[in-house]
Structure 1
Amino acid sequence: MPDYEKHAYDTNNIFAKILRSEFPCHKVYENEHVLAFLDIMPRAPGHTLVIPKAAARNILDVSPDDLAHVAIASQKIARAAMTAFTADGITLQQFSETAGGQVVFHLHVHVMPRHTGIALLPPASRKEDVKVLEDNATRLIAALE
């Protein structure tokens, strides 16, 4: 049995709690299959997380249909982020299992607007100011409309 099959989905992970509205988030997009919200410890302005509403630990156990919805929403967010943040490019990241760098065990894709010559901040290096997150959410939402 592969190692990833030994781990059950934890319904108390932070993203599951966000989906149940037990924890707040700066939501920028939602449909019946996915939720996209700003990372509170962004590596770049506009750093957004796209998650399935389905219970999926990571890419190893998500259904193909749920993964497709996450991919489609990630593209939608990426296009909006290019506009909202006048970005030169986009970095997408997805980590699966601890050895792969995963910290929160609910599938999520990081969508990070990039600017030429500006490095990403180190992961979890600082918590962003709430006002900045609100402003960035407003920019992304406007670009999605």
Structure 2
Amino acid sequence: MECLFCRIAAAELPAYRVYEDDDAVAFLDTRPLFPGHTLVLPRRHIETLTDLPAAGVGPFFARVQEIAGAVERGMAAAGTFVAMNNRISQSVPHLHVHVVPRNRKDGLRGFFWPRTTYRDEAHAEETADRVRSALSG
């Protein structure tokens, strides 16, 4: 196995595990935004969200939901930031969700990239049409 996360899931590499079952593994990120920052991943090697079989989406995100609640309670956090990268900025090519404890005025500012706007309503509608078309195609 060459995938770092597959090796962690198989217990070939150490990690500070917080949860595991037949389908998912969760462990502390080694470079956390805040203490308690946890990664949740499918035990099987799946690279991106679009590769996750439809039957696995519900069970996997049930685990993410469970971990998000545990991070909030365990870290006495007011909430969590739950995010995933899909190919771009995905440092390990194995599907994983970041669950980061959050508190007001913790220094984390929204998303980590600049926000933008649509040029006008026509641009927004054209963009929505492109996504809708891709859903039906």
TM-score (norm 2): 0.74
Shift of 1:44: 1.2
Letter in 1 for 2:46: A
Find the aligned partners of 1:94 and 1:64 in 2 and give their Cα distance.
Answer: 17
Residues 35-50 of structure 1 aligned to structure 2 (within 5 Å) = 35-50=25-40
Q: Provide the alpha-carbon RMSD of the alignment.
A: 1.7
Is the CA contact 2:82–2:100 (under 8 Å) kept in the aligned structure 1?
yes
Shift of 1:119: 2.3
1:113 aligns with 2:93: no
1:67 aligns with 2:57: yes
Residues 73-92 of structure 1 aligned to structure 2 (within 5 Å) = 73-92=63-82
Is the CA contact 2:6–2:44 (under 8 Å) kept in the aligned structure 1?
no
Residues 93-104 of structure 1 aligned to structure 2 (within 5 Å) = 93-98=83-88, 101-104=89-92
Shift of 1:82: 1.3
**Gaps (5+ residues) in structure 1?**
1-10, 124-145
Find the aligned partners of 1:16 and 1:120 in 2 and give their Cα distance.
Answer: 30
Shift of 1:88: 1.1
Is the CA contact 1:44–1:120 (under 8 Å) kept in the aligned structure 2?
no
Find the aligned partners of 2:19 and 2:28 in 1 and give their Cα distance.
Answer: 10
Letter in 2 for 1:44: F
Which of 19, 22, 25 is matched with 2:12 structurally?
22
Which of 40, 49, 58 is matched with 2:48 structurally?
58
Is the CA contact 1:52–1:69 (under 8 Å) kept in the aligned structure 2?
no
- C-alpha offsets along residues 14-68 of structure 1, whole Å, 9 cap, x if unaligned? 1011112221110111111101111011011100000001220010211122232
4+ residue stretches of structure 1 with deviation over 6 A? none
Q: Percent identity?
A: 34
| Equivalence for 2:121 | none
**Gaps (5+ residues) in structure 2?**
113-137
Greater radius of gyration (CA): 2
Which of 3, 8, 13 is matched with 2:3 structurally?
13
